[in-house]
Structure 1
Amino acid sequence: MNDLKNICVFCGSSDGNDAIITRATQELGEKFASQGITLVYGAAKIGIMGSLAKTVLDNGGEVTGIIPGFLKKKEVVHLGLTNLITTKSMHERKLEMQNLSDGFIALPGGIGTLEELFEIFSWLQLGLHTKPIGLLNCNGFYDDLIQLLETMVRKGFLSMENYELLLVDTTVDGLLQKMKDFKAPRIPQWMNEDLT
């Protein structure tokens, strides 16, 4: 059973136009607060990101935001967070998110959300971390992405073992339970060797 004290959530800086996604975001925030899970996220006050952080805070939870300095200057930063960490770059931001988090969830979002999801997914595949990664498939948002991953398996570009590393559920409770039950794969032997 994984102890998920800090979960990083990747999600959109836009609100989108689907009320079911908005409600799922709020439900996730409420669940974090009630279970004592600290939200780690990109520190924005706008979009799904801002809604999630506001819900956690409004329900007495804690939120750590991580943002590169250049985005703070665009006045998108949420200044009411429990903790705010400023990095020099997007890459440093993602490293800090990985270091501070016990697991990761992707809510609906755009290109940035997908980029963050697939980077942390590839790090798990490579054995660079052993933390659970969840995809909250709200109202079929990620159906096409899941179908693409299945195509990658059929075409021989993604192993079934690695495909199954990505935990998918349509409900907040179901996804959190899968993440708690997640058993990381053994790190390949070559990862322990000195490659220099």
Structure 2
Amino acid sequence: TYQAASGAGATGMDELVKQYAELAEGKEPTVEKFAYQLAYNLIPHIDVFLDNDYTKEEMKMFHETRKIMHSPELSVSSTCVRVPVVRAHSEAVWVETERPISIEEARKAFSTAEGLVVIDEPAEKKYPMPLDAAGTDPVFLGRLRKDIANPNGLTFWLCGDQIKKGAALNAVQIAQYMIAHKK
């Protein structure tokens, strides 16, 4: 995952903007919210490190993905990186399917998924970016391709505004789905 400063709250966003301004003025950047300067940098560490050398955020992804997918044996691993983006998280995702899935089949499935917008024209340099996802409701998917290391694998890129999608909107959309499907 590539997590924006917004993942650390308003103070994280404010600190990133302040760091850029301070650096533009030739000043030392303020570093309070993050372990290091985030402006012009990446920090491969979100939350605290645990005994297994994964961070609490990485283990949260491990457990929550299994829970959301209703698959306690699902193989999941991640590295969570704080990036110098004010708002909207991104993910580089690799999945292994039970059988080979064509790009066309995957694109059709993704294109019909509610709340997901496919932007996948790499030759035209059209793909999701956090700058475009910030302040919007859907999650954007692109860079969809076969995994060259695994015949049953796919890889793709996602961007979404976790403040909008990950918080209240997601709960509302789940409730709407449950009502519509009488769950």
TM-score by length of 2: 0.28
Q: By percentage of residues, which structure has more helix?
A: 1
User: Considering only CA atoms, is the larger Rg found in Structure 1 or Structure 2?
Assistant: 2
TM-score by length of 1: 0.27
